[in-house]
Amino acid sequence: MKFNLGVKLLISYLVIVMTGVFALSLTASIFAPAALDRHIAEMQSMGQSAALVADLHRNFRAAVNEILVISTSVAMLAAGAVSAFVTRRILDPIRQMKTASRLIAEGDYQQRVKVYEEDELGELARTFNQMAERLAHTEERRMELIGNVAHELRTPLSSVGVLMEGLVDGVLPQEPATYISVQREVARLQRLVDDLQELSRAEAGQLHLDLQPVNPIVLVERTADKLRPQFADKSVSLVLHLPERTPQLDLDPDRFTQILINIMGNALQYTPEGGRVTVTADTQAGAFRLRIADTGIGLRLADQQAIFERFYRVEKSRARTGGGSGVGLTIARYLVEMHGGHIHAESAGLGHGSTFVVSLPLT
C-alpha cells in the first residue's frame, strides 16, 4: 500500500506519540501501584476504613487512565496539526520541483523553483535551478551547433555543387585548378566531421594518450613550420620566442601537436590581415608555460570564461570568416587537462587581441 509523503509524516508523528503514551502507561503501571499502596498503608495506619481505601484505589486508577486517554487524544491532535504544517512546508517546494521537472522533461528549460529557506530543501532548490540553467545553456549550444553545422555543410556543398554543375555543363574547364577547388571544399567538410567526431570521443572519455619524454619546443617549431604557409596566405606574421633549452615533458606528441594546431589556427582565424601571432615559452613554478598571443579581435570578459565551452563562438555571425564550428578550443582544453595541465584565455577587451596560456607540469 502506497502513501504520499504527508501521510508518511503523519504516521511517523503518531508512532512517536503512541510510543510516548506506551512508555508513560508502562511506567505508570509499574510505579503507580507501589506508590498508591504505600499511601494506602499510611491511611490504614491512621484508621481509615477498608471500603474507603478500596474506593480510593479504584478512583486513582480510573483517574490515571482518564488522564492517559485525554493526553493521548491531545497529543494526536497536536501531531496532526504539526504534521499538516510541516508537510506543507516540505511538500510545497517538492511539488514545485516535480512540476518544473515535468515541464523541463517536455522541453521547457526556463522553469525555475523558488528557494524558501536556507536549509537542505533550499539547497536542493538551488541545485535544481543550477541544473535547469545548465540544461538551458546546453540546449542553446545545441541549437547553435545545428545552425553552425548546417551552415558549414551548406557552404562547401554548394560550392561543390556549383563546380560539378559547371564541369557537367562545360562552363568550367576540366583542368587541375577546378578539381583542386573541389578537393578544397571536400577537405573542409572532412575537417568539420573529424572535429565533431574528436569532440564526441573526448567527452565520452575515449581518447587515450601515448605519453613519452618529449622536448615541447621541438613540437612547437615543427607545428609552426607546418602552419606558416597558411599564415603567409593571410599575410599574418608568425613569430616564435622560444628558449634554446627546456626540460622534457611527458607528452603525447600527436595530441600536443593537435593542441598547438587548434590554438594557433584559432589565433590565425581571428587575426586580420597584417596582424601578428606570437608564441613564447618559459619554465616557472614547476610548469612549462606556453603563451600564444595574437593581435586579433580580442575577447570580452564573458568570452574569456566561455571560449572553451563546446560550440561557443565569439563571433555570432555565421560568415565563414567569423569562426568555425566552435569545437577546436574545446578539444584543446580536453587534451591539455588529460596531460595534467591547464589552459586559459586572457584579453584586455575587444580590439586588443587575446592570449591563450597553456601550462603543463614538468616531468
Buried b (16+ CB within 10 A) or exposed e, 13-47: beeebeeebeebeeebeeeeeeebeeebeeeeeee
pLDDT given at position 256: 93
CA distance 327 to 144: 12
Q: Label residue 324 by pLDDT band (50, 70, 90).
A: low
What is the 3-state secondary structure of 62-108? HHHHHHHHHHHHHHHHHHHHHHHHHHHHHHHHHHHHHHHHHHHHCCC
Angle between helices 253-269 and 328-338 (to 10 degrees): 150
Task: Give, rounded to a whole angstrom, the gap between the first and last alpha carbons of the chain.
Answer: 62
Domain with CATH 3.30.565.10 in the chain: 212-361
pLDDT in tens, 56-101: 667 777 777 777 777 777 777 776 777 677 767 777 778 888 888 8
- Torsion over CA: 129, 135, 138, 143 (sign): negative
Q: Label residue 322 by pLDDT band (50, 70, 90).
A: very low
CA distance 172 to 161: 12
CATH code for the part of the protein at 212-361: 3.30.565.10
The rounded percent of the chain whose pLDDT value lies above 70 is: 80
pLDDT in tens, 209-259: 889 999 999 999 999 999 999 999 999 999 999 998 888 899 999 999 999
pLDDT given at position 208: 84
**Maximum pairwise Cα distance, the chain:** 138
Q: Label residue 200 by pLDDT band (50, 70, 90).
A: confident
Buried b (16+ CB within 10 A) or exposed e, 193-219: eebbebbeebeeeeeeeebeebebbeb
Domain with CATH 1.10.287.130 in the chain: 144-203
pLDDT in tens, 26-48: 666 666 666 666 666 666 666 55
Residue 92: Cβ within 10 Å count: 14
Q: Half-sphere exposure of 174 toward its Cβ, with a 13 Å CA cutoff?
A: 5
CA distance 66 to 225: 98
pLDDT given at position 318: 41
CA distance 314 to 298: 9
Partners of residue 280 on adjacent β-strands? 241, 291
In this prediction the pTM is: 0.57
* Among 133, 144, 195, residue whose Cα is nearest residue 312: 144
3-state percent breakdown (helix, strand, coil) of the chain, nearest 5: 65, 10, 25
User: Does the domain made of 144-203 have the CATH classification 3.30.365.10?
Assistant: no
pLDDT given at position 134: 87
3 state DSSP class of 137: helix
Q: 24 with 32: CB under 8 angstroms?
A: no
